[in-house]
């Protein structure tokens, strides 16, 4: 077993790695650059609307096994809430039509049932969409799917733009296929939406920190790694600027920082380049009675509306085009759509716009091909993060899996060494 494992970055990937390693026998130190762990999955108090909000609404699906395992391990599974069935209400703002996609458990007979599938679609279109699952490596979604018509605009685009955070025609078909395989392909039991009702930090970050500290994990905040020094095939020294850690022969390092930070620390490692933004607009207003916890919106800027206690909150993916729109214009445009979708006559409530410029790597085939695996050319240094080669787009599930995988490799490497 490695003597000390240093985990760089306390986002979900780093925390998932620490949780997997934490049980007795391993000494773990987590080094986080900022004062606030959680990375791209965190909550904060916002003075403009006077409440705690998340940096972005995060949707987890019941089929996200690594996230659920992580939540189970840190004792916070109950913080993820959602309906008992995989029902997704939608509204089309241009036609006023409303429908609920109702995905049954088991074999997908919902496709055969007009009252469950998307209005205006035919069974044959769903079968043709199955081509996505057989797409060649390097293909885009646009290469294999007809990106027009009701099935695309009313189901596939909303699902895929949210998962890939790029416009689906340019997105990597292999990543889109992985999402479809792990969600729609497994039936309703894998598609139930789960939301961190009381915030991401409450569900994932605070309980993880408590869990880790109780197990003796040392969590060092505002401790940014500046450089890694190597000796032959191993990392030998971690340079934090104000202090440094000399690595003992059996110590290991898991680098779980975002892609741009990994590229700076490890210039020899291939990393995806560039990011796409996600915008969230939060409104301080009680959702009208009957507002679903989550609603898809077609035909506007708004893509998904989430209803929380005292707040309605909107997510817009692939949002680079909105980075230059004034915050006020964006809030007003989105509120007009939200009011129409939830049936509210209220004037613009107190609002906040949160635009995460570096939300995810660009999920095109070219950038997907640049994602490295968890192993590196150095025997004691492993990679984790949603941008590593998880086979999934940049999601909490990908981040959690990558952290768990890196932890398993550290443990496997240690036991190989002790057997030798």
Ligand X SMILES: Cc1cc2nc3c(=O)[nH]c(=O)nc-3n(C[C@H](O)[C@H](O)[C@H](O)COP(=O)(O)OP(=O)(O)OC[C@H]3O[C@@H](n4cnc5c(N)ncnc54)[C@H](O)[C@@H]3O)c2cc1C
CA–CA separation, 389 and 370 (whole Å): 8
Beta strands per DSSP E along 197-259:
218-220, 227-231, 234-239, 244-246, 252-255
Stretch that binds ligand X, among 18-26, 54-62, 184-192, 295-303 (CB under 6 A): 54-62
Stretch that binds ligand X, among 26-34, 72-80, 123-131, 292-300 (CB under 6 A): 26-34
Minimal distance, residue 97 CB to ligand X, in Å: 25
Query: Which listed residue (2, 6, 14, 175) binds ligand X by CB under 6 A?
Result: 14
Look at residues 248, 253, 254 and name the one whose alpha carbon lies nearest to residue 3.
248
Residue 410 near ligand X by CB under 6 A: no
Minimal distance, residue 416 CB to ligand X, in Å: 27
Residue 228 near ligand X by CB under 6 A: no
Residue 386 near ligand X by CB under 6 A: yes
Query: Which listed residue (21, 73, 144, 261) binds ligand X by CB under 6 A?
Result: 261
Query: Which listed residue (8, 177, 363, 409) binds ligand X by CB under 6 A?
Result: 8
Minimal distance, residue 245 CB to ligand X, in Å: 12
Residue 356 near ligand X by CB under 6 A: yes
Nearest CB to ligand X, comparing residues 40 and 154: 40
Minimal distance, residue 55 CB to ligand X, in Å: 6
Stretch that binds ligand X, among 55-63, 106-114, 134-142, 167-175 (CB under 6 A): 55-63
Backbone angles phi, psi at 93, to 5 degrees: -65, -30
Minimal distance, residue 223 CB to ligand X, in Å: 7
Residue 66 near ligand X by CB under 6 A: no
Q: Which residues have a Cβ under 8 Å from the Cβ of 321 and sit 6 or more positions away?
A: none
Minimal distance, residue 359 CB to ligand X, in Å: 4
Look at residues 50, 329, 67, 76 and name the one whose alpha carbon lies nearest to residue 208.
76
Query: Which listed residue (9, 188, 292, 365) binds ligand X by CB under 6 A?
Result: 9
Stretch that binds ligand X, among 6-14, 44-52, 88-96, 283-291 (CB under 6 A): 6-14
Residue with tokens 């997105």: 171
What does each C-alpha distance from 283 to 62, 92, 312, 313, 327 come to in angstroms?
27, 21, 5, 6, 13
User: Helix or strand or coil: residue 222?
Assistant: coil
User: Helix or strand or coil: residue 303?
Assistant: coil
**DSSP element (H, E) containing 264:** helix 259-265
- Taking a C-beta distance cutoff of 8 angstroms, is the pair 235, 247 a contact? yes
Residue 395 near ligand X by CB under 6 A: yes
Question: 277-316 mask for ligand X (x: CB under 6 A)?
Answer: -x-x------------------------------------
Minimal distance, residue 317 CB to ligand X, in Å: 8
Minimal distance, residue 265 CB to ligand X, in Å: 6
Residue 359 near ligand X by CB under 6 A: yes
Burial (CB count within 10 angstroms: exposed 0-12, middle 13-18, buried 19+), residue 391? middle
CA–CA separation, 79 and 199 (whole Å): 9
Q: Largest Cα–Cα distance in the chain?
A: 72
CA–CA separation, 352 and 359 (whole Å): 18
Residue with tokens 């759509």: 337
Edge to edge, what strands does the sheet with 4-8 contain?
Answer: 218-220, 27-31, 4-8, 252-255, 381-383
Binding site for ligand X (CB under 6 A): 8-14, 31-34, 39-41, 55-56, 58-59, 224-225, 256-258, 261, 278, 280, 356, 359-360, 385-386, 394-397, 399
């Amino acid at each position: 077993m490695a003597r000390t494992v240093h985990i760089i970055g306390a986002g979900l990937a780093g925390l998932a790695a620490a949780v997997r390693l934490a049980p007795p026998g391993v000494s773990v130190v987590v080094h986080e650059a900022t004062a606030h762990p959680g990375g791209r999955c965190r909550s904060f108090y916002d003075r403009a609307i006077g409440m705690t909000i998340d940096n972005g609404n995060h949707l987890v699906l019941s089929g996200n096994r690594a996230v659920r395992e992580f939540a189970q391990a840190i004792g916070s599974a109950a913080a993820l809430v959602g309906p008992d069935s995989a029902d997704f209400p939608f509204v089309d703002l241009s036609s006023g039509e409303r429908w609920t996609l109702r995905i049954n458990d088991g074999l997908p007979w919902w496709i055969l049932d007009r009252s469950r599938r998307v209005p205006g679609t035919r069974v044959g279109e769903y079968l043709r969409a199955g081509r996505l699952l057989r797409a060649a490596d390097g293909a885009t979604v646009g290469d294999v799917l007809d990106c027009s018509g009701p099935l695309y605009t009313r189901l596939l685009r909303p699902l895929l733009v949210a998962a890939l955070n790029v416009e689906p025609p340019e997105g990597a078909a292999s990543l889109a296929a992985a999402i479809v395989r792990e969600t729609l392909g497994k039936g309703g039991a894998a598609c139930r939406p789960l939301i961190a009702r009381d915030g991401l930090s409450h569900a994932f970050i605070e309980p993880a920190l408590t869990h880790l500290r109780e197990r003796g994990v040392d969590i060092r905040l505002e401790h940014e790694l500046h450089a890694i020094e190597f000796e032959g095939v191993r990392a030998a020294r971690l340079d934090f600027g104000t202090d440094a850690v000399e690595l003992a022969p059996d110590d290991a390092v898991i680098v779980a920082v975002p892609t741009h930070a990994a590229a700076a620390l490890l210039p020899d490692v291939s990393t995806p380049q560039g990011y796409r933004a996600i915008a969230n607009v939060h409104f301080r207003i009680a959702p009208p009675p009957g507002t679903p916890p989550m609603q898809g919106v077609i035909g506007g800027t708004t893509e998904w509306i989430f209803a929380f206690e005292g707040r309605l909150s909107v997510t817009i993916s692939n949002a680079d085009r909105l980075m230059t729109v004034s915050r006020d214009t964006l809030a007003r445009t989105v509120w007009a759509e939200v009011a129409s979708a939830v049936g509210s006559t209220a004037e613009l409530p107190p609002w906040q716009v949160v635009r995460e410029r570096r939300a995810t790597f660009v999920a095109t085939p070219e950038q997907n091909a640049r994602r490295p695996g968890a192993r590196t050319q150095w025997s004691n240094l492993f990679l984790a993060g949603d941008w590593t080669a998880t086979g999934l787009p940049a999601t909490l599930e990908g981040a959690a899996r990558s952290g768990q995988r890196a932890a398993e490799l550290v443990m496997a490497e240690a036991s190989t060494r002790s057997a030798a």
